[in-house]
Structure 1
């Protein structure tokens, strides 16, 4: 396949965008088709990376036999493209901001590219073809060829010289590498990442949106076949409140961050972990956290005060570490136990 570049002109990222418009109850359309001339580059046989103009250039799509188009943008493609016979499209709605969650879309995006590349030709695009779509293509190259982020980035950049994922997307690609090119929901960094994304959303809409309900963990008090051996219970009524896996570690006097890969180490014995306050993930018995920005946490059985939570202000631990968002249990109000009680006996 020809490696011809249809435009060597770099996208004008300083170009003023016109606002997108909403012409329906839930259908977004855009007015800002001003991403410059048709611009796309062949990353490898069957995979192209380009801008919005390329994705709407019917002649170019036909000439290159592109019949799979992945849009990673704030608005979908116009119907004149999505309704083209023989063309399969997929739309992932994200903005080009460092705190946007693109990582959670990797699996569906990479599956779409793989299926398309195996049978035809795929174009991945965003507005300029620089950040969002480049992030997806880099992730695909990482997984397909078992490459590190840096190696995959260089490979893509050799084909399209002005690719540049924003800093947040770069960190998400590095986390993708650390998780072995898949989403590991048990990974501490990923859990911290999703919690930060949820906090950003709660600050905007004042409630926990449906897209972030995965941060609410199941109630460890429920009967289960394989309960965790170490749990934290209400000191007054002994109701199980959290499992050891629900705890979010932090180092004394340090603000924890999901971009810090120290949490990927299996052995945390070398870290000065703090236990002065038990910071945990939000758990479903904390019903008040889904529709309040901050408040108190009470035992769901005896109503004893256990701690507090805050999506917006966070909490200052006595050790000096600032945690945000924060869901914490006061150690004097709870006790830990390794007595398994919530086990389901099966015959």
Structure 2
């Protein structure tokens, strides 16, 4: 990528601009690719750790020339639907470990504007319990042209909503991960191995702690889903994870909050929307282990694994339009007339 001449790297093969970096926190720097390949600056500043958030790792010559530097590479593109959120815990730990050891850490992407800025903002949010807006302004005060893309901003807002951690029980996080997985399924036509954890265990199997509230097949009474597997939705709600370049009526509330302050009428509309009761015209659920076709098909029908009665359908790509007007994608759903709700688990033996 770059050539070494007299122990210095030239920049003929990339155009990330001149070396650009800013100290956001004591010993924590945010910069671009040029700074990360500037051997003189790295030596002078005594950088001990480099976190690369880019589509390509640093040239091998960096490690060869400065073997004492600890490198970490996170392969990410600057696309709104790239998943940085699930990497926040890992990146926070790397940065904090570097600082705790008395080192100096550089976090960079190509321009030091979007991807690496997102990682640093997440770190500041976690460290100081700052909401997204406050952390964003704090980092921007140190590096004036930081600007995470809209998708990354939405992920940071969700990170705030989850209390600066990864809460796998959070409904919005479940929807977020399903939609990221759906992007992968759309490309490769099967569910990638690293998303298999999205498929939840069969609730009908023996369990030491069965949930008291379940959904059963109306015909044979076989348990199909626990209450915790339900993904609630509200009438006319758009649950497709989109960035702000979309039409406003297709932008979820997480991202709308990042736009300019709402007018009084808009606030009233959001208040009315918040008071709307969840819809029960369609039961959307998480993918479940008894749904065999969901791993290698983009869409299909859902049948009871015991009596083979048709229960509903699934679609990773197109999703489902509920009669209430809500659009959910991807969608795994039961038709309400095909299932019964039960508030007590019966005839389930517990194992010790």
Report the alpha carbon displacement of residue 257 of structure 1 after superposing the two structures with TM.
Answer: 4.8
Q: What RMSD, in angstroms, separates the aligned Cα atoms of the two structures?
A: 1.9
Supply the distance in 1 between the matched residues of 2:119 and 2:281 (Cα, whole angstroms): 41
Supply the distance in 2 between the matched residues of 1:82 and 1:102 (Cα, whole angstroms): 25
State whether residues 154 and 254 of structure 2, in contact with CA within 8 Å, keep that contact through their aligned partners in structure 1: no
- The answer as to 2:198 corresponding to 1:210 is no
Residue 164 of structure 2 aligns to a residue in which SS? coil
TM-score, normalised to structure 1, is: 0.86
Correspondence for 2:227: 244
Residue by residue over 1:195-232, the C-alpha shift from the partner in whole angstroms, topping out at 9 and shown as x without a partner, is 11011111111111122222211211121111111011
Report the alpha carbon displacement of residue 77 of structure 1 after superposing the two structures with TM.
Answer: 1.0
Following superposition of structure 1 onto structure 2, how do residues 100-139 of structure 1 map, counting pairs within 5 Å? 100-119=82-101, 120-139=103-122
Q: Which structure is higher in helix share?
A: 2
Correspondence for 2:181: 198
Kindly tell me: are residues 111 and 253 of structure 1, through their superposed partners in 2, closer, same or farther at Cα, counting changes over 3 Å? Answer: same
Report the alpha carbon displacement of residue 81 of structure 1 after superposing the two structures with TM.
Answer: 1.7
State whether residues 50 and 124 of structure 1, in contact with CA within 8 Å, keep that contact through their aligned partners in structure 2: yes
Quick one: higher RCO (CA 8 Å, sep 6+), 1 or 2? Answer: 2
Residue by residue over 1:240-280, the C-alpha shift from the partner in whole angstroms, topping out at 9 and shown as x without a partner, is 11111111111112223565359xxxxx9933211011111
Correspondence for 2:55: 74
Correspondence for 1:344: 350
Residue 66 of structure 1 aligns to a residue in which SS? coil
Residue 224 of structure 1 aligns to a residue in which SS? coil
- The answer as to 2:279 corresponding to 1:274 is yes
- The answer as to 2:90 corresponding to 1:90 is no
Residue by residue over 1:2-26, the C-alpha shift from the partner in whole angstroms, topping out at 9 and shown as x without a partner, is xxxxxxxxxxxxxxxx9xxxxxxxx
- The answer as to 2:338 corresponding to 1:333 is yes
Report the alpha carbon displacement of residue 33 of structure 1 after superposing the two structures with TM.
Answer: 2.4
TM-score, normalised to structure 2, is: 0.85
State whether residues 157 and 254 of structure 2, in contact with CA within 8 Å, keep that contact through their aligned partners in structure 1: no
More off after superposition, 176-185 vs 230-239: 230-239
State whether residues 74 and 95 of structure 1, in contact with CA within 8 Å, keep that contact through their aligned partners in structure 2: yes
| Count of aligned pairs between the two proteins | 312
Supply the distance in 1 between the matched residues of 2:17 and 2:254 (Cα, whole angstroms): 39
State whether residues 214 and 226 of structure 2, in contact with CA within 8 Å, keep that contact through their aligned partners in structure 1: yes
State whether residues 240 and 327 of structure 2, in contact with CA within 8 Å, keep that contact through their aligned partners in structure 1: no
Residue by residue over 1:95-114, the C-alpha shift from the partner in whole angstroms, topping out at 9 and shown as x without a partner, is 10111111010000000000
Supply the distance in 1 between the matched residues of 2:72 and 2:124 (Cα, whole angstroms): 19
Give the gaps of 5 or more residues in structure 1: 1-17, 19-30, 263-267
Residue 95 of structure 2 aligns to a residue in which SS? helix
State whether residues 179 and 240 of structure 2, in contact with CA within 8 Å, keep that contact through their aligned partners in structure 1: no
Supply the distance in 1 between the matched residues of 2:50 and 2:349 (Cα, whole angstroms): 49
Supply the distance in 1 between the matched residues of 2:105 and 2:50 (Cα, whole angstroms): 6
Residue by residue over 1:295-335, the C-alpha shift from the partner in whole angstroms, topping out at 9 and shown as x without a partner, is 11111222221110111111121222222111111112111
Match of 1:56 among 37, 43, 58: 37
